[in-house]
Structure formats: structure tokens, C-alpha cells
Amino acid sequence: MAKDFYTALGIERSASSEDIKKAYRKQALKYHPDRNPNDQEAEEKFKEVSAAYEVLSDPEKRRRYDQYGHEAYTRSAGRASEGGFGGVDPFDIFSQVFGGGGGGSVFDSFFGDGQSRAGRARNAPAAGRDIVYEMEIDFEDAVFGADKKIELTRPVACDNCQGTGAKPGTKPTTCQHCQGTGQITMNQGFFSVRQQCPYCQGSGQTISDPCPTCQGVGRVRKRKSIQIHIPVGVDTGSRLRVGGEGESGQRGGPPGDLYVILHVRPHAFFRREGGDIFCEVLIPLDVAALGGSVAVPTIGGKGKLKIPAGTQNGAVFRLRGKGIPALRGRGRGDQHVKVQVEVPTKLHGKQKEKIQELAELCGEENYPRCREFRAKTAAFLS
């Protein structure tokens, strides 16, 4: 146990009531046993911060604590006449602060297991856990959609015992040690602590004659092939939900869901940004100068791009409606084509002569960008 409650919460002695509550919320979430299963050190820290908050959040208890000190407080904590502290359940404090009220709604939003510690019977039906599966798909699958199969090994209800864990013809009985709650209460110093029942491992039930197939667990691991439909327009990070294909529930609870996270493989030619596609094409010098049309790959097949005369290297043209279909069917992106002009190489005599003739025939009016560049750099070139 900490030697000082302020230190346990990581706050100054001048901290306001709001500071105390914020500090407790942060520490309680960090060290809660459900986030740190089988971690004794974390459990002790959870008890510490709960005890600290119970005292420092109460103005009168805090005044006595500040007046008499930590040692005096811990010595007198059990005597109601000297402080009225009474027993403290850290899980009740957690439920009060986070607004769970024993029902588990806020608690579930943090830990998602549907199991409130504030007195809920552990032998009630429990929903199965969700499964997250990451899948790589090709660029074309993301654009046009596809149907894929994945193989999963997951816990499912045992067919032999129908998920009860007991041998067919028998059934589990209520644990006599925790009376079916899955928890026992132990007094430790000035507060009481609820802990998982060691006799039933928190299930609230005992099985005297376990199922030979699942060894009393109620579930077995099985492999299953699941069909996944990939809709048109998905992208890396898209998440698909397949209801009821997660882990099976326990004690008659519903199964969890399967969430498939998609990762789209890079394409050799196309690059995607949202609903738009980007690519580069090479055109010869004569087409750039005189104009013409060139074949351009699109996701729908071969397309044509009209090149106007005088097209410069790096010019970008847009093909409307040639991009990615919207995920929910609302329109379609565009394809952006960047032109790279290739200058001819390995010229022979006559070719060189023609290029020279072209150079002699062209003046500054034929090279406006060069003229602009020379004007801007005239001071440096003189």
C-alpha cells in the first residue's frame, strides 16, 4: 500500500476535487484487474488508488487525513468512531465514479466483456468475444468488389454437452462458496475486496462430472470456412462486419461478430487517393509538339487520351468518371493522367539535321516558358 494517498494518485496536495477525480479515473482504468488479468501488482495498485480516492474525494475525510497523516489514518481506519471510513470495495468505487450503477453499461464501454463486478451473477449468459481478421486484397478487388473465403479456428459451443460443460445427462450446480455470484469478499485492512471465487474460477457454477469432449469448458476449437463479400469501393482500413461469426457465447449467450480489416495491395500502374486514380503515361516528343491521341490504361480497360499540341512535360489530364466507384454507390471518382514527354535518343545524321532545321525555324515565341525563365534569371546570367 502506498505511503501517501496523494502519491498513489500522482497529484499535488493542493489538488482540487476535480483533479482528484481525473487522477483516479486515469489510474483506475490503467490498473483495473480486467485490463490486467492475473497481474497481482496491478490489482494492488487498483486497490491503492481506490482507497486514496475514497478518502481524498470526501472533504471531511481528506481534512482528517491531512491533519493526522497517512500512518495515523491507516491505524485508525478500522475504527468508525475515529473516522467513520468503514469497509471500501474498490469495484463499487469504480462503478460509482464511472456511472455504472451496478448495471455495467459504462463499465462495458471500457472493457467490453459484458461482465460487471458489481454483484452480477457470473453464471448468467455471456456473449462471445468478437474476432478481428486482417485480409490483403488486390487493387481490382477493392475497385470492383469480390467474394472471398477465409479459414478461421475459433471457440464454438461443444456439441456433446451443448455448451454446458457437464457430461450429457448431468448439469452444473451452483457454487456453494460464492452462491453463484462468481466472487467472494475478503477483508483487507480498512476495506473489503471482492475477488474471483477460486472454487469455481468465477463461473458461479461447479461441474462434478465434466464433459469428456470439452473437459468441462463448454467450448471446443473448430476450423470453419467463411464467405466474405467485399463491396465495391473499399480501401485500406475498411472494416467489414460479419454478424454471429465470432466466438460462441457461454452459458447460452449469443456469439460475437467477425470484423475483417482490409489491406489493399499496391498496384503496378495505378495509385489511389480516395475515389480518384492517378497514373503516368509516356508520350513521344512529336505527339507532345503536334498533338494527337494515346492509349491509356484505365480500371475499366483501354482508354484514349487526346493530347493537345504544345503539351508540356508533367501536364496532368483528367478522365472524368474513370476513378473508383463510391463505397455506397454515390458517384465515381476521376482518373488523373500525368504526361511524361520522352526526348528521342540515338539520333542518326538525317534525324539530327531535321532537329537542327526545327531549331533554326523556331524563335522565342515557340518557347514561352524558356523566355520567361531567362527574364527571371537575367540578373544572374549577365
- CB of 310 closer than 8 Å to CB of 338: no
Q: Is the pLDDT of residue 366 over 60?
A: yes
pLDDT tens profile 173-205: 888 888 888 888 776 555 567 778 888 877 788
- 23 and 78 fall within a common domain: yes
Residues 63, 107 contacting (CB under 8 angstroms): no
Q: Are residues 147 and 258 in the same domain?
A: yes
Q: What CATH number is associated with residue 294?
A: 2.60.260.20
pLDDT tens track for 328-347:
767 899 999 999 999 999 99
Inside any domain, residue 123: no
Same domain? 275 vs 260: no
The 10s digit of each residue's pLDDT in 48-74 is 898 889 889 988 888 888 887 877 666
Query: What is the average pLDDT score of the chain?
Result: 83
309 and 247 within one domain: no
The highest-confidence range among 26-35, 172-181, 308-317, by mean pLDDT, is 308-317
Tally helices (H) and strands (E) across the chain.
11, 15
Give a yes or no: residue 23 inside a domain: yes
Domain that holds residue 312: 271-343
Phi-psi region of 164 (alpha: psi -120 to 50; beta: other; left: phi over 0): alpha
Supply the pLDDT for residue 376. 87
pLDDT > 90? residue 326: no
pLDDT confidence of residue 117: 43
Q: Are the beta carbons of 325 and 332 closer than 8 angstroms?
A: yes
- 17 contacts: CB under 8 Å, gap ≥ 6: 57, 59
Residue 57: burial class (beta carbons within 10 Å; 0-12, 13-18, 19+): middle
For range 262-268, the mean pLDDT: 95
211-259 residue pLDDT tens: 999 988 888 999 999 999 999 999 999 999 999 999 888 777 888 999 9
- Number of structural domains in the chain: 4
**Position 120 pLDDT exceeds 50:** no
In a domain, 189, yes or no: no
Judge if 152 and 251 occupy the same domain: yes
Question: Is it the case that residue 100 has pLDDT exceeding 50?
Answer: no
Q: What is the mean pLDDT of residues 82-109?
A: 52
38 shares a domain with 107: yes
For residue range 234-245, list pLDDT tens digits in order: 999 999 999 999
332, 326 Cβ separation under 8 angstroms? yes
Predicted TM-score of the model (pTM)? 0.57
Contact between 189 and 87 (Cβ < 8 Å): no
